[in-house]
Amino acid sequence: MRSVTILGSTGSIGQNTIDLIKRAPDDYSVMALTGGRNLTRLAEDAIALRAEVAVTCYPECYEDLAGLLAGTGVRAAAGPEAVAEAAAMPADWTMSAIVGAAGLVPGMEVLRRGGTLALANKETLVTAGRLVMQTARDHGARILPVDSEHSAIFQALVGEDMGAVNRIIVTASGGAFRDWPIEDLANATLAQASSHPNWDMGQRITIDSASMFNKGLELIETREFFEVGPEKIEVIIHPESLIHALVGFDDGALMAHVGPPDMRHAIGYALHWPERRTLPVERLDLAKIGAMTFRAPDPARYPALALARRVMEEGGLMGAVFNAAKERALDRFIEGRIGFTDMAVVVERVMDKMSSSDGLQKATQDLDTVLDTDKLARLRADEAIAQTS
């Protein structure tokens, strides 16, 4: 029996992970579950899975969570430190499915104890990729990618020599607005940006898919996790979302990973790695699908992609700047304070300001510096937002 912890268990990835674990209850014991304000879901899952501890990241929610867990044998805890403590518990396998840079510190706890980290939280690698990869090496920890594209690349590389890889192609659905006239994007509403054509995901990543900030994050994630040069990483729009990524080799071969758009595949691969086990995902009927199509992304429609390329070139702490500015701009878009296209404008302004005045390019990453940079970038984003309104 393997012990597992799920950080962000109440979210979209967390719930899909629980779905897989519940299908094989004799194979797993649950150590910790963590969530946010959805205390009913958190408590119900913790009780059903007999977790040792359930943690909400909000200190003010402690009493309510403790009330729901009273007499059940599940311990309640609250606050960011308690989330990090849950991550530090010695689970055999830990899923990082927190959204945003808040996933970094708990993820680092898992790596520092030499654990296995199934990483859905791409922000961990975007904000501090060098530090994270080095920490994993120093402590003999393992990171298994859960983002579908990165799981696909990881699978295409099994048994291959990284030295023979000359391109990695990440596919993108194109998001909710791929066929909209560009001039309409400025007026796109929250509801319109929150519906994805192919994938059922949390709200933030769904909006990031419409703006392609998600694909920008994934380019940086690819660079950091697979440690390949930015010139080898490409994006292609593939509206059907059936090929998740392709890896190209020196001999011209392209290895594509094909599967239905269901995150339980990538989660299940990381859960059972290095084995493959039966998963509850649809078997594709290729004759019924008939055709798969591809098109180049339009830089004018998706300015986030060029900003992400800049991050890959500039390095240092620019990933932390890019991600934090994007998170703050996204908060303000969700609150209705800025428009859809303002998000990229805000991120670019923050990057311009911080890369020139604060000398963050090529800077060395350590955890405190990364966290300070994240905070400063959020302040700079607030200033830039004040200028747009």
Please report, as ranges, the residues that interact with Mg ion according to CB under 5 A.
147-149
Q: How far is the CB of 39 from Mg ion (least distance, A)?
A: 28
Q: How far is the CB of 178 from Mg ion (least distance, A)?
A: 16
Q: How far is the CB of 205 from Mg ion (least distance, A)?
A: 8
Kindly tell me which of 218 and 348 has the beta carbon lying closer to Mg ion. Answer: 218
Q: How far is the CB of 150 from Mg ion (least distance, A)?
A: 7
Measured distance CA(150)–CA(154) in Å, rounded: 6
SS3 237: strand
- For 119, phi then psi, to 5°, come to -110, 100
Q: Which residue is nearest to Mg ion (CB)?
A: 147
Kindly tell me which of 13 and 110 has the beta carbon lying closer to ligand NAD. Answer: 13
Q: How far is the CB of 205 from ligand NAD (least distance, A)?
A: 4
Angle at 183 between CA 180 and CA 189, to 5 degrees: 65
Kindly tell me which of 11 and 316 has the beta carbon lying closer to ligand NAD. Answer: 11
* Dihedral angle over CA of 265, 270, 274, 277, nearest 10: -40
**Two tokens at 298?**
């339009």
Kindly tell me which of 19 and 358 has the beta carbon lying closer to ligand NAD. Answer: 19
Kindly tell me which of 98 and 318 has the beta carbon lying closer to ligand NAD. Answer: 98
Cis omega (within 30 of 0) for bond into 239: no
* Binding partner selected for residue 122 from Mg ion, ligand NAD, none, CB under the kind-specific 5 to 8 Å limit: ligand NAD
**Two tokens at 93?**
């396998």
Kindly tell me which of 201 and 237 has the beta carbon lying closer to ligand NAD. Answer: 201
3-state SS string for 34-86: EECCCHHHHHHHHHHCCCCEEEECCHHHHHHHHHHHCCCCCEEEECHHHHHHH
Q: Are 84 and 105 in contact (CB under 8 A)?
A: yes
* Binding partner selected for residue 222 from Mg ion, ligand NAD, none, CB under the kind-specific 5 to 8 Å limit: none
Q: How far is the CB of 373 from ligand NAD (least distance, A)?
A: 17
Measured distance CA(389)–CA(386) in Å, rounded: 6
Question: Can you give the length of the chain in residues?
Answer: 389
Q: Are 59 and 83 in contact (CB under 8 A)?
A: no
Kindly tell me which of 102 and 355 has the beta carbon lying closer to ligand NAD. Answer: 102
Q: Which residue is nearest to ligand NAD (CB)?
A: 11
Q: Are 146 and 271 in contact (CB under 8 A)?
A: no
| Interacting residue ranges for ligand NAD, rule: CB under 6 A | 8-14, 35-36, 57, 83, 97-100, 102, 120-123, 147, 199, 201-202, 204-205, 263
Q: Are 381 and 352 in contact (CB under 8 A)?
A: no
Kindly tell me which of 250 and 294 has the beta carbon lying closer to Mg ion. Answer: 294
* Binding partner selected for residue 244 from ligand NAD, Mg ion, none, CB under the kind-specific 5 to 8 Å limit: none
* Binding partner selected for residue 120 from Mg ion, ligand NAD, none, CB under the kind-specific 5 to 8 Å limit: ligand NAD
Q: How far is the CB of 147 from ligand NAD (least distance, A)?
A: 4
Measured distance CA(81)–CA(83) in Å, rounded: 5
* Binding partner selected for residue 83 from ligand NAD, Mg ion, none, CB under the kind-specific 5 to 8 Å limit: ligand NAD
Q: How far is the CB of 76 from Mg ion (least distance, A)?
A: 33
The amino acid that residue 303 corresponds to is P
* Binding partner selected for residue 123 from ligand NAD, Mg ion, none, CB under the kind-specific 5 to 8 Å limit: ligand NAD
